[in-house]
Structure 1
Amino acid sequence: MNSNTELLRQLKIDKAHKEAPGGGPPWGRIATIGGVIVLLLAVGVGAWGFFARRPVDVQVATAVAPSTAATAGAVLQATGYVTARREATVSAQITGALTEVLIEEGDRVAKGQVLARLDDNALRAGLASAQASAQAAHATVAQNEAQLDQALRDATRQEALVGRGLVSKQIAEQTRTQANTYRAQLNTARRQAQSADAQVGVAQVNLDYTVVRAPFDGVITDKAAQVGEIVSPLSAGGGFTRTGVGTIVDMDSLEIDVDVNEAYIGRVQPAMAAEAVLDAYPDWRIPAHVIAIVPAADRGKATVKVRVALEQKDARIVPDMGVRVSFLERRGEAHADAPKGVMVPSSAIVQRDGHDVAFVVADEKARRHSVTLAPPVNNDMRLVTAGINAGDTVITAPADTVVDGTPVHINPSTP
């Protein structure tokens, strides 16, 4: 009974909360509820705006101008560098101070041309000393020859006198022994003269080492020492001793080394036609072909090195230039024009609202571009004939959440 009474008391309407006079609604309570709803909506809109403005991490690639490789059936593209098969850092074969350096970067030199000279005063003195010793040795030889000749004549006369009984046989034998002694001394003097001549040769070679010459025809790409510095074939002097005078490169030996992913190395064959495009001259197409596939893989990069020969030599091609190589199924026509448009990764092209589009990064935002596509060249690249310009940064594999104006952040791991 008491419990029922308590329940009835709780259900009783407090007079303080009765409707306003005239039976109207409680406007104060409605206003409060409306304010709460507006506040919640504002918070929601603010949160949506925060997350909507948060940049999206994306992978990107650069749209590049196509080459004739696109029409010649490119089966693979790879990047690499121009290298010289014949390159040498030229140094002296002895340690010495430079008195002349006759080269500058860019100079063309011929085989045997003098590049530098070392201080040769001590070596010239050594050569003069060796020559004097050799002359003395040859004078000794001449003296011993004269003594031997006289001893032989004396021995002959003594033997004749012995036959007539005028002198004893012992005296004749002593004379003959003296002649034999002079003969032995002459042989020794001749050996000493030969040794002295060899010392002259050594001194001459050392003196010749003070002149640094070009080992082959080429171009000087680096001048490593100046007059007054000490050069040595060994780094004996630490930072105060140069180990080379300069670097010479045989420009006729230039070729390209490219690293091909081992998953695609099966597409490359020896003597395969190729086309090279230097990063410095993107509109210049250089015919090339595969020299060899180096039979060794790089475990860290999972690549195999391929040597590519350049079929055109030009002064614009220099070592260590970056280059892109397209390996071709067949040799393109010499007069073939590069197709119009730009090349982009196939993953950069997506379907939106039934149209082919690509997203270009501009001012850290994704900008939607409708594109016109040419027939596929390969599974990796597509030729875009309209809608994108060369050099544009396109988003590869854009997510469905990426729309026109979406803030983006380029992923640092982008190749």
Structure 2
Amino acid sequence: MKFYHPSRRLLIIAGVVIICIIVWQMLEALHKPPSHVAAETPVTVGNVQRADIPLQLDALGTVTPRATVTVRTQVNGTLEAVLVKEGRRVKAGEVIARIDSRALRAQWLEAQGTLEHDEALLANTRADLTRYERLIDAGAISRQTLDTQRATLRQYQGTVKADQGSVANLRVLVGYCDIVAPMDGTIGLLSTDAGNYVTTSDTMGIATITSDSPTTVVYALPEDRMGDVVDAFHDKGALPVDIFARDKRTVLDHATLAAIDNQADTTTGTVKLKASAPNREGRLFPNRFVNVRMTVGTLHDALTVPTVAVQHGASGDFVVTLSAADAKRGAGKVALRRVTAGVAYHDATVIEQSNLKAGDVIVLDGADKLDDGSAVKIVGH
């Protein structure tokens, strides 16, 4: 009977194990997919297009009413009543508050009585003068008496005029007791309530009225963009201006450019502009901060790409392209192309300088993970 040495038996077992490992690795290699397939990055693609793009300028603006008036009393007295509600729209000439006018009406009545008294004296003096003028020819009175009567007549005429002025002044003061809105607008919160004594020296007034429909929006643009604005303003007149909320999505109103300031601000390098907005719904509150987008023209037949396709690198902007053949096949290797991005409109960005042409396939989602020559696979294609 033949026996194996223990060390030789171990060598045989080790050899069998090594052969099994080699066979297993060979089988794994046969079933493993090619390495280039595993390295493919899933992407979505779009196309370079030509389109007409509005040339728009964005800015921050402030709602500025055309006029703001602080309503003050023009006579001293007790505020008898407030006839409008806070925050309500009022019309020019509408009575919004009333001052107690009893004392002024009494003075007015007294002045009218004085006027009537002096008018009676004037009428009597005029009648006497007429009689004196007839008597002077008969020698019944002296020339001095006639001259004195004429002077007395002028004196009473002056007195009557003074009385008429007093009556007219008191009539105006009584009219001031009805405080009226000087213009159409919206009345703000009251500064005082009925029952308080108000004077002409009160700086706070009774309330503030703003003419908010229509209203204006003041905003500033960089001075190096003003050339396009001025040219367009002279050629087209009122340029369209859209007013947005802070989210830049909610449209508050549609306005038109009304005026351009006559000088630039040297501290900011900007020029102020004013747009007029109808504000029929009253959403443009005075002093509210808004976003402004003004259209100064149209870029016709501009080369555009979806904004998400534009990538930003240390060497500038670029897009990732795929050949038409690879795009048709659904997979391939990409190439990076340098571009100069221009204005953006909605989801499209204008390409000012590049070697792209309309119809070229570009990578959208997933472009930020790719390098020049990376393998990709189109999904959702």
TM-score (norm 2): 0.59
1:254 corresponds to which of 198, 215, 218 = 215
The structure with the largest strand share of the pair is: 2
**Per-residue deviation, residues 361-399 of structure 1 (Å, max 9, x unmatched):** xxxxxxxxxxxxxx9973589949988xxxxxxxxxxxx
Alignment equivalent of 1:145, drawn from 115, 120, 126:
126
Aligned to 2:255: 288
Q: Which secondary structure does the structure 2 equivalent of 1:143 belong to?
A: helix
Q: What code does the residue aligned with 1:132 have?
A: G
Q: C-alpha offsets along residues 86-115 of structure 1, whole Å, 9 cap, x if unaligned?
A: 222222223433222222222121111111
Find the counterpart in structure 1 of residue 65 from structure 2.
84
Aligned with residue 268 of structure 1, among 191, 209, 229: 229
Label 1:286 to 1:146 Cα distance change in 2 as closer, same or farther (>3 A): closer
Q: Is the 8 A contact 1:92 1:244 kept in 2?
A: yes
Structure 1 residue runs of 5 or longer lacking an equivalent are 1-69, 160-171, 235-240, 333-340, 357-374, 388-415
Structure 2 SS opposite 1:199: helix
Q: TM-score, normalised by structure 1?
A: 0.55
- SS of residue paired to 1:174: coil
Q: 1:215 aligns with which of 182, 187, 194?
A: 182
After TM superposition, give the deviation of residue 77 of structure 1 in Å.
0.8
> In 2, distance between residues paired with 1:290 and 1:376?
30
Aligned partner letter, 1:103: V
Q: Secondary structure at the match of 2:73?
A: coil
Contact preservation (8 Å) 2:252, 2:284: no
| CA positional deviation for 1:213 | 0.8
Amino acid at match of 1:107: R
Query: How many residues in Structure 1 have an aligned counterpart in Structure 2?
Result: 270
- Residue 378 of structure 1 aligns with which residue? 342
Tell me the secondary structure at the aligned position of residue 268 of structure 1: helix
Cα distance in 2 between the residues matched to 1:383 and 1:308 = 26
CA-based RMSD: 3.9
Structure 2 stretches lacking a partner, 5+ long: 1-50, 300-305, 321-338, 350-363, 366-381
Which 10-residue stretch deviates more, 210-219 or 304-313? 304-313
The question of whether the paired residues in 1 share the 8 Å contact of 2:229 and 2:296 is answered with no
Which residue of the partner structure matches residue 90 of structure 2? 109
> In 2, distance between residues paired with 1:223 and 1:146?
58
Shift of residue 307, structure 1, vs aligned partner: 0.8
Q: 1:212 to 1:178 in 2, by over 3 A?
A: same
Change (3 A) 1:264 1:222: farther
Aligned partner of 2:104 in structure 1 is: 123
Q: 1:280 to 1:382 in 2, by over 3 A?
A: closer
Q: Which residue of 2 aligns with 1:396?
A: none
Tell me the equivalent position of 2:12. Answer: none
Q: Cα deviations across residues 188-233 of structure 1 (Å, max 9, x unaligned)?
A: 2122111111111112112222221111222213322212334444
Equivalent pairs: percent with the same residue? 26
SS of the residue corresponding to residue 252 of structure 1 reads: coil
Secondary structure, aligned partner of 1:378: strand
